[in-house]
Structure 1
């Protein structure tokens, strides 16, 4: 291989191939995909040219790599809040005492770099070929750092993952007062310094690593940003021509907080600040006017659709929290670009498509409202469209050779009438066999070269245990760990 890519033309075939013609995916029984120098040359039947290598994947589905617009890049803490609520009592919001004492980093700089590489291996293992990393700022002193994202770029280059990177920044945070109420603290100068560093990061790292490393701006949740921070971010997006991601309309608390502080709904406020554009990627958007019990006169969905902004749909993490889009069909029919994000562990895009399909049908009480193709399109074409990349998310001549091979041979998969429908019925990210990114085979038969999964697992658990031990200090009332995180059932240990 030259520069990690396969040398010469490589032809891949399987029982099913997802090709692309006339603007939409097509299914090719016993189809063929040919790539060379990182690009797709052919997707169809009966390739007549010479090839250097043939790979028959057998009973499998060859499709475009998944695009993850909200890809977990730290140690996931969903399990900590899974059955431990409300969040403000369980350390998910800083207590006033912790904030006044001065928030601190809960991971070492080495841990922060380590966890990026760890998370990137999980993404590849699940067939994700393009990722926009996301991590929680709950455990940070304030924002993300240049050093950890330089480490993220290094890890992505080493593993061969296509990424859009940018350290997250914010102008404020929420905290729990001594009276048990949620309040806001803002430090606008600190937020603007974070934006300056993020711009410098974009200027330094954009289109490096042989084109695998791209950049983005990543202001944190909308309610923790000030008007100058968001308006200046919007200008920087136009100047740099990079995507921008902002978590928005993901809770009733956030929505009502923005209305109270700014007198406008979140979409109205973003529009009036000049933030919205086709470069904007907005995770969740679960709470809009007229939806999910939000009673507001603003035409939120229309504002977002007209702006060209994209939804990063993360159905698994939202369903775990008891919410869902109402509904996928309504956003689709309004003309919004819909891509997918995983945003939690496992970063299983197949599971997210499955949950997304089920919650969409439940929301409309109609099994015909949304089809398997809607979710598969979102995980491939929609994510590519959100990034302004017509060379991703499809297997067509000229597209980048980002390919995911998903096995259909496990008896647990069941019978195959249509491979996409079967995948969304009974598939899993664990069924991903082989991953190609930019013409490099970065995982073959479940093996990522140079990656010791057992060592990564043990390292993640040790760092997770260290994080949990710090929770009493950052939890309202400072209870002991065993009161913050209750066992599912009483634990009876062996007597000594």
Structure 2
């Protein structure tokens, strides 16, 4: 079937950059775009006219929230060392355990993927937290995640997270590392088995990736084997890196190199590497190593930085600076990482934070953030058929409605969306030519029932903090409202 989508605006691609079409159309057949522009000359079987709307390439989330986000629980609840966000030494001694059942683990992905689609994201590399797990993720649970992705129709790069260690809080409230290398190597073997079994599943909607957890929770052997596997399989590797002062100083102490220097030694600084978040590198004012060596590594390696501005802005941190990284030729992608799973929100915050850090508006433009969410993400994955609307590209297409009152007086489709829009202004989504959302509703999903279950499950997650915190305080002592409850 050949389908024609029409709208008052279309973001097309001219072979090198995005361009804006007025009163244009996008035509696709099967999973492939055939035409972008005016007056398609051939026959079409179906036409959908969205009116005052923007047809956009689907957004690519390189660090996609795949969870019921536990990160929001750190908001104004005091030190995470006291609230069970990290394992206490007592909890580690007793033996970590799962907070969710297998069914609840599956549900969190269904919930997360639904909301990613709802927010205009068509390609996702999901990330979940390990602190409420007994250890890392497993082959069998991710086999079911493949089926959820296929059912909902989201394009997903999947692989169970694996790690050799976990950061925990000692009795004196200092941080330390607990290690279990055999468990880490077993996790890598499960990840490789998963890649070989499921890379290309659901008509290549699901692709494999390697997902070691955090650089400070991995041993040299685990990352060396990951590097070799990535080279053999041509698999992307996403590794959280350069995201805290603690991580930077811990890696320097343990490995006698900066995080980026260590990755370079291991052969992991390649164009297949996707690194959230790339903030704390040598030369940053917050770290002890003041050299410019890491900057040279970033600019010469071809790695991608997955920029997630919202989650860091909450704690007063920011990349220094988006415009500087982009101008140096570093490939920049975007990620959500936290609730809301909204890349428009992250484009807005990313723009504003960049201009505050840079002291003006000259270095970072709106187009730079939009490019990161589309072309930058596609480049990170080695995909010149994603992140653009052009003949031959995958029919990953989203439609943003432009009629909502919160957008204000209309003056420019992308500027209105980036100033006042929300991901949930997405009205329709097509992934690989399949309609997965229409009229703001994700196909086959009862949103009220989904939210009711999420609320119940999140209460269980909050209650689990008690066992991980020192002294097992009840949840009402761990989580505080913005204002005290009236008596």
TM over 0.5, shorter chain: yes
- Deviation per CA, 1:408-463: give whole Å up to 9, x if none: 11122123332112211111112110000000110001112220111111101111
| From 34, 40, 44, the counterpart of 1:41 | 34
**Separation in 1 of the partners of 2:486 and 2:140?**
44
Where 1:294 maps in the other structure, the secondary structure is coil
Where 1:286 maps in the other structure, the secondary structure is coil
Structure 2: unaligned runs, 5 residues or longer: none
Moved more, 480-489 or 456-465: 480-489
Shift of 1:292: 4.6
Aligned equivalent of 1:340: 334
**Separation in 1 of the partners of 2:258 and 2:292?**
7
Question: Does residue 91 of structure 2 align to residue 98 of structure 1?
Answer: yes
Where 2:364 maps in the other structure, the secondary structure is coil
Counterpart contact for 1:15–1:58, Cα < 8 Å:
yes
Number of aligned residues: 486
Aligned equivalent of 1:4: none
Alignment of 1:283-432 (within 5 A): 283-296=276-289, 297-432=291-426
Question: Does residue 248 of structure 2 align to residue 255 of structure 1?
Answer: yes
Structure 1: unaligned runs, 5 residues or longer: 1-7
**Separation in 1 of the partners of 2:410 and 2:241?**
39
Moved more, 157-166 or 86-95: 86-95
Aligned equivalent of 1:439: 433
Shift of 1:298: 4.7
Aligned equivalent of 2:204: 211
Where 2:81 maps in the other structure, the secondary structure is helix
**Separation in 1 of the partners of 2:482 and 2:441?**
35
Aligned equivalent of 2:132: 139
Aligned equivalent of 1:108: 101
Where 1:31 maps in the other structure, the secondary structure is strand
After superposition, the CA RMSD in angstroms is: 1.1
Q: Which stretches of structure 1, 4 residues or more, deviate above 4 A after TM superposition?
A: none
Counterpart contact for 1:301–1:331, Cα < 8 Å:
no
TM-score, structure 2 normalization: 0.98
- Deviation per CA, 1:258-289: give whole Å up to 9, x if none: 11111111100100111111111001111112
Where 1:253 maps in the other structure, the secondary structure is helix
- Deviation per CA, 1:3-41: give whole Å up to 9, x if none: xxxxx2111111100000031000000111100011000
Shift of 1:301: 2.1
**Separation in 2 of the partners of 1:313 and 1:269?**
21
Question: Does residue 112 of structure 2 align to residue 119 of structure 1?
Answer: yes
Question: Does residue 73 of structure 2 align to residue 52 of structure 1?
Answer: no
Counterpart contact for 1:94–1:476, Cα < 8 Å:
no
Where 2:444 maps in the other structure, the secondary structure is coil
**Separation in 1 of the partners of 2:106 and 2:402?**
35
TM-score, structure 1 normalization: 0.96
Alignment of 1:174-253 (within 5 A): 174-253=167-246
